Amino acid sequence: MTKRRLCVVISPPIQNRVGLCTVVPLSTTAPQQEMPYHYQLNIPFQLPQSWGNRQRWVKGDMVCAVGWHRIDLLRLEKDVNGKRRYQLLTLSNVHLDEISKCVLCGMGLSALTRHI
């Protein structure tokens, strides 16, 4: 994937991976055939206008590691004092569990989803 897109960071900071995180990309395009590594995600908080509030699809088969320097926070409008505001809310554990299942299925590890 070469264009800018929303993603979900699924890795916590890992001691020997300084500066890296693991992400799952999101797409506004529904899959031609829905597979176990897809998940329809309605983001439960405000996105910047430039991204729109459309439904997204988790692409659990396209997980990748990226540098934190490539991750931008979601920038909202400025406050009354002209200071930039960011969307800092996170997804619920229900959404994260579903995304985890997608990632495991995308890696051919669907047998592990029975434990989630």
In the predicted model, residues of the chain with pLDDT beneath 70 are 1, 115-116
The H-assigned helical ranges of the chain are 93-106
Query: pTM of the predicted model, to two decimals?
Result: 0.85
> Regarding the domain delimited by 7-115, which CATH topology (the fold level of the hierarchy) does it fall under?
SH3 type barrels. (2.30.30)
Q: What is the pLDDT of residue 65?
A: 92
Q: What is the pLDDT of residue 111?
A: 83
| Vertex 3: Cα angle to 43 and 110 (nearest 5) | 55
Instruction: Spell out the domain ranges in the chain.
Output: 7-115
Q: Please, are residues 40 and 55 in contact by the beta-carbon 8 Å criterion?
A: yes
